[in-house]
């Protein structure tokens, strides 16, 4: 499936997962990043897998990773970014999906979705023009939340660690 200028969805998914891995996030977040848009998203509408494929995807990557990946595809990105804008640390929240339903997220989901959202933007920006920092400008609310949460937990903020440039 095509995904951007001369690239495939596979290129994008593997690149996004590699960024999440380079930021040393848990295996479930890395696996969710690997399939983060297979169900389509509010921006990338072409679904590689239907909702009927969820059991097969779950069997391949595990329950937690599939649940996060499905949530990434289902989220109304603007509603999610608004929900996390004032959080001091990842917290449970309810957000609207792109089809208007409400999705319940726990704190682990919120952190994973934020990280995948940043890696998604980063991968597309770096792959397109090699700009190592410009991706931060595409998702300032995600970057700001990740930095606040990392500092509150005594960690180095993910957004301060740059991924390797794509070939």
pTM, to two decimals: 0.80
Whole-number Å distance between alpha carbons of 98 and 21: 27
Q: Report the candidate in 128, 165, 122 with the shortest Cα–Cα distance to residue 142.
A: 122
Give, for 34, the enclosing helix (H) or strand (E). Answer: helix 27-34
pLDDT band at residue 116 using 50, 70 and 90 as cut-offs: very high
What is the average pLDDT across 130-135?
A: 58
Mean pLDDT to the nearest integer, 11-26: 89
User: Rounded to a whole number, what is the largest CA-CA distance in the chain?
Assistant: 41
* Per-residue model confidence (pLDDT) at position 167: 44
Q: Of residues 71 and 165, which shows the higher confidence score?
A: 71
Percent of the chain with pLDDT over 90: 27
Look up residue 142 and give its two tokens: 């995600």
Residue 31 has pLDDT above 90, yes or no: yes
Mean pLDDT of the chain: 80
What are the E-state strand segments in the chain? 93-96, 102-105
Rounded to the nearest 10 degrees, the angle between the axes of helix 9-22 and helix 107-129 is: 120
Q: List residues bridging with 95 in a β-sheet.
A: 103
The average pLDDT across 133-144 equals 68
At 33-82, the pLDDT tens digits run 999 888 877 666 666 666 788 899 999 999 999 999 999 988 888 888 88
User: Among 82-91, 101-110, 121-130, which range has the highest average pLDDT?
Assistant: 101-110
pLDDT of residue 126: 66
6 Cβ contact list (under 8 Å, min separation 6): none
Give the residue with greater pLDDT, 29 vs 148: 29
Contacts of 24 (CB under 8 A, 6+ apart): none
Top pLDDT among 1 and 95 is at: 95
pLDDT score, position 147: 76
pLDDT of residue 90: 87
């Amino acid at each position: 499936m095509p995904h951007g200028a001369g690239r495939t969805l596979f290129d994008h998914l593997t690149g996004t997962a590699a960024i999440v891995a380079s930021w040393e996030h848990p295996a479930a977040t890395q696996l969710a990043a690997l399939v983060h848009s297979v169900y389509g998203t509010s921006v990338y509408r072409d679904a590689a897998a239907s909702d009927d494929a969820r059991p097969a995807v779950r069997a391949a990557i595990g329950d937690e990773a599939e649940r996060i990946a499905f949530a990434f595809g289902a989220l109304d990105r603007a509603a999610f970014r608004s929900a996390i804008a004032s959080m001091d640390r990842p917290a449970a929240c309810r957000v609207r999906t792109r089809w208007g339903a409400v999705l319940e997220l726990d704190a682990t989901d919120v952190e994973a979705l934020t990280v995948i959202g940043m890696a998604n933007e980063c991968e597309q920006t770096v792959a397109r023009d090699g700009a190592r920092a410009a991706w931060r400008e595409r998702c300032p609310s995600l970057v700001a939340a990740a930095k606040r949460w990392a500092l509150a937990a005594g960690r180095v903020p993910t957004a301060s660690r740059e991924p390797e440039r794509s070939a």
